[in-house]
Chains A and B, each alone.
Chain A
Amino acid sequence: MTTIEELVEANAISRIEVEMHPRDQTLRLLYGTPGFIAWLGELAKDSQPERRLGEATAAEQVDDLFNTFLSGMPLVYMRQFRSIRAEKNAIWELKTPDIRIFGWFLQKDCFVAVFGNWADEVKDHDLYRGYRIAIRRLRRELGVDETLCVQGVTPGDVLSL
């Protein structure tokens, strides 16, 4: 049976951290695939700030989302996270006003991010189905489709709220 540690050692996924307030500590875990980490690096450049909808840049939105997630603060269901489809081994979406992040929960409070994209691109081109299929294929290739995947689809199944 594949373990999270084996996935990390194989460089299939890497741990992601953000600067946290000294009073906070990591209560959830966040991982990313190499492709997602590369996308994150591009986002950090903030090369396309003109595309933001609200006051915060896309990078600021993602930093805030990651900080909220990692420090164990509550996330608002549907506003900040949701499952793409109510199904066994569901694919989940983390959301900011401008950004969508797709992946799955290895375990409760442990998310692995696979794809990140601008919200308008995801919606305009209806990329949900494509991301869902690609992530399911990746999980099969990694051999974790059944073992390292939260089965439930309610918010309480994936996050300690």
Chain B
Amino acid sequence: MTCFHFDIGSRARHAGRFIGRVRGELLRVLAEKKAKAGLPQQALAEKLGVKRSLINRQLSGEANLSLRSLADLAWAMDMEISFELKQPMARAGQNQPMTTSTVRHGQIKYINGGGKQVSVFAAPADPEPEQAKKSA
């Protein structure tokens, strides 16, 4: 039984997830505002004096989101931005990065984009069934 670990490297992971978190937060607040106050993207666009398609592309991730446009969007939605850099903290009870699979103790195979090499292994972690077939 094989388990594949999609690993793009620490640097790319941090960047991608930060960008995703910012966009996700914008989408979440916009959805809330739309539900509660009926604030559609069109209203945001009119308030900011830009086309709705630009807002849509920024929120969908198809267009770059500069710090200026992030601040503008927060302003248009009447929200404050909280930003903080902090040291990663190890806390009691938190999980450890996995080194083995919990799926029948199978080996974890790495799809690694962090380095230059990409390794995809498809061999089953437990060779017994295959050997049994051959002996049969």
Task: With both chains docked as a complex, state the minimum distance between the C-beta of A52 and any C-beta of chain B, in angstroms.
Answer: 9
Contact call B19/A44, Cβ cutoff below 8 A: no
Contacting B19 at CB < 8 Å: which of A22, A25, A41, A55? A55
Tell me the number of A-to-B contacts counted with CB atoms below 8 Å: 140
Contacting A32 at CB < 8 Å: which of B4, B59, B113? B4
B95 at the interface (CB under 8 A from A): yes
Contact call A19/B5, Cβ cutoff below 8 A: yes
Provided the pairs A37-B122, A53-B63, A54-B61 are in contact, do residues A18 and B101 lie with their beta carbons within 8 angstroms?
Answer: no
Contacting A18 at CB < 8 Å: which of B6, B15, B65, B90? B6
Contact call B95/A56, Cβ cutoff below 8 A: no
Contact call B3/A23, Cβ cutoff below 8 A: no
Contact call B15/A56, Cβ cutoff below 8 A: yes
Task: With both chains docked as a complex, state the minimum distance between the C-beta of B21 and any C-beta of chain A, in angstroms.
Answer: 8
Contact call B113/A45, Cβ cutoff below 8 A: yes
Interface string of A73-89 (1 = CB under 8 A from B): 11010010000000000
Task: With both chains docked as a complex, state the minimum distance between the C-beta of B8 and any C-beta of chain A, in angstroms.
Answer: 5
A16 at the interface (CB under 8 A from B): yes
A8 to B124, CA, bound (A): 10
B62 at the interface (CB under 8 A from A): yes
Contact call A23/B4, Cβ cutoff below 8 A: no
A40 to B63, CA, bound (A): 24
Contact call A15/B3, Cβ cutoff below 8 A: yes
Q: Which residues of A contact B63 (CB under 8 A)?
A: 53-54
Question: Footprint of A on B, CB under 8 Å?
Answer: 1-8, 12-13, 15-17, 19-20, 24, 27-28, 31, 59-65, 90-91, 94-98, 101, 103, 108, 111-113, 118-120, 122, 124, 129
